Amino acid sequence: MPRKPTARMWRKAARLLLQGRVAVHAVGPHGILATVEGDEGVYEVVNEGNGWQCTCPYQDYHPSAPCSHCAAVALVWRAVKKGDETDGIRPEGTPDGHQG
């Protein structure tokens, strides 16, 4: 089953972003770590290159569908990746990929 957010999830994700409830803590070439202030609590969202993981309970009820927190961070991730290609703008806390 495809793990794609529904249109409703994208709308909720956009709302989370607009309300400043998404905090990105680390971005690397293949992954991102963020926390999202959801309606029921603050959740940690991680993508290590193989898909999205969130600590919210929604994932337990709907393991085949990403939650709005993942969708919100996915929107940021997409923007960061594009920025990386053009001007290299990144959030603070970007981990060093390698020494030197």
Task: Say whether residue 54 binds Zn ion (CB under 5 A).
Answer: yes
DSSP conformation letters of 34-62: EEEE-SSSEEEEEE-SS-EEE-STHHHH-
Per CB under 5 A, which region of 18-26, 51-59, 72-80, 83-91 contacts Zn ion? Answer: 51-59
CA distances from 19 to 43, 55, 95 (A): 16, 20, 26
Task: Say whether residue 33 binds Zn ion (CB under 5 A).
Answer: no
Nearer to Zn ion, 17 or 90 (CB): 17
Helix H or strand E encompassing 26 = strand 22-27
Site string for Zn ion, 56-85 (x = CB under 5 A): x----------x-x----------------
* Site residues (vs Zn ion, CB under 5 A): 43, 54, 56, 67, 69
